[in-house]
Amino acid sequence: MLGYVLDEVFLHHRAPSGHPERPARAEAVRDALVAAHIAERGRQVPVRAATDEELARVHDGAYLDELAKVVPGNTGWLDADTYYSPGTWDAARAAAGSASQLAIDAIDGALQRGLAVVRPPGHHATRERAMGFCLFNNVAVAAAAARARGAGRVAILDWDVHHGNGTQDIFWDDPSVLYLSVHQFPYYPGTGAPTEIGGANASGATVNVGLPGGATDQDYLAAFDHVFVPALDAFRPDLVLVSAGFDAFVHDPLAGMRVTHAGFAAMARRLRAVADRHAEGRMIALLEGGYDLDGVSGGMAEVLAALTATGVAPAPIAPLPVDGPVRGAILATLHAHAAAGHPIAAPPAEGARP
């Protein structure tokens, strides 16, 4: 069973003129999912506000208090990139709360897979700071809710073109949450080096592959097949969460990658297969970035297709490039984890992954 979150409240986070994180993004995704008959493929989950307890699991109390004083009903900026409008407070709390509810429902068995078209996005929000268009870290709230509900291990795969520094920060020293990110590097926010592998209590539980600008579908799939899927198979998550940003799309105005809709589809199918192997199919995708309307709408439609497919055929292993910066980026991650005593297994030499 698929549960999905679509609601007008997320359009009330109103962008200043010219800002790329605008309501049209959610409208475009909504229209694409409606055209793909999402209502026939699952059930709509009502939005709800995150509770104070849910937010406090991943954010500092002083930060939450300051937001509660400044944001509700007002207009302004929390930093040079992150705005708020009169509707932002309700939208942000609904984004975090709805993400949490999907995770709770997955752990409880009320649904198997989930998809949430929420905004503002969340993966740049740290424990104590808003940044990069993000106020609350929605995927972190969802992961913490799943853990509180009884999940032993939660994996977060972040394919947004920008590194999810906030999610990494929140779970840096938590071995029960595996955070994996593929992103353009070096690029905003400047984090996500291959040597960033987790804190003293969670060494190896952070996995970063920073790809050079211009990376293609095959480059991303090489990172998945040679780094992420083996790491996920070793971790054996009880829930797979996806920070699904679509700004690696070939036409996105805020980055320099060359991923197509087919690339996002292939990544989603690989994660669906991981969830089927280890998590009884439990997988939830949350909207993060993506600023080309065709890129974000078509990309999320491909994620819906992967989540609701009757079955996922094994995919051939994408080859590791024989040379060049993409090979170097992937090997840098593998070498960093091996040097720390947490080697990531190689994929099968030939054929398809089971």
**What are the extents of the domains in the chain?**
2-339
Identify which has the larger pLDDT, 233 or 354: 233
pLDDT digits (tens, 9 = 90+) for 116-174: 999 999 999 999 999 999 999 999 999 999 999 999 999 999 999 999 999 999 999 99
d(CA 185, CA 282): 30
Calpha distance 41→26 (Å, rounded): 19
In sequence order, what are the residues at sequence separation of 6 or more whose Cβ sits closer than 8 angstroms to the Cβ of residue 176? Answer: 147, 152, 153, 154
- Are 181 and 212 contacting, i.e. CB atoms less than 8 angstroms apart? no
For the question of whether the overall pTM of this predicted structure is more than 0.85, the answer is yes
pLDDT at 316: 94
At 290-306, the pLDDT tens digits run 999 999 999 999 999 99
Compute CA 54 distance to the chain's CA centroid, rounded to the nearest angstrom.
Answer: 18
Q: Judge whether residue 241 has pLDDT over 60.
A: yes
Q: What is the CB neighbour count within 10 angstroms for residue 293?
A: 18
Q: Which residues are catalytically annotated?
A: 124
Give the mean pLDDT of 189-208.
98
pLDDT of amino acid 16? 94
Q: Whole-angstrom Cα distance, residue 248 to residue 246?
A: 5
Question: Which residue, 246, 278, 284, is CA-closest to 265?
Answer: 246
Q: What is the pLDDT of residue 314?
A: 86
- Token pair of 153, please? 């291990």
Q: Which residues contact 317 (CB under 8 A, 6 or more apart)?
A: 225, 347, 348, 350, 351, 352, 353
The arithmetic mean of pLDDT across residues 13-40, rounded, is 97
Please tell me what DSSP assigns to residue 131.
B
> How sure is the predictor about 72, in pLDDT bands with cuts at 50, 70 and 90?
very high
Residue 313 has pLDDT above 90, yes or no: no
Architecture field, domain 2-339:
3-Layer(aba) Sandwich (3.40)
Q: Other C-beta atoms within 10 Å of 57: how many?
A: 17
Q: Which two tokens stand for residue 185?
A: 């590097």
Beta pairing partners, 35: none
